[in-house]
Amino acid sequence: MAAHDEPARRTQEFAAIGWVMKVVIAEKGLSRAKLADRTGIDYKLVSRYLKGQGNPTYETLKRLCDGIGVSLGEIMTRAEALAEQEAGGAGDGAG
pLDDT tens-digit series, residues 24-71: 999 999 999 999 999 999 999 999 999 988 889 999 999 999 999 999
Per the domain annotation, does 23 fall within a domain? yes
Per the domain annotation, does 93 fall within a domain? no
pTM reported for the whole predicted model: 0.78
Q: Mean pLDDT over residues 68-77, rounded?
A: 95
Do the beta carbons of residue 59 and residue 82 sit within 8 Å? no
Lowest mean pLDDT among 2-6, 83-87, 90-94: 90-94
7/74 Cα distance (integer angstroms): 24
- When divided into structural domains, the chain yields a total of 1
Per the domain annotation, does 57 fall within a domain? yes
For residue 41, the domain's CATH number is: 1.10.260.40
Do the beta carbons of residue 21 and residue 68 sit within 8 Å? yes
Per the domain annotation, does 63 fall within a domain? yes
Per the domain annotation, does 16 fall within a domain? yes
What range defines the domain where residue 41 resides? 9-78
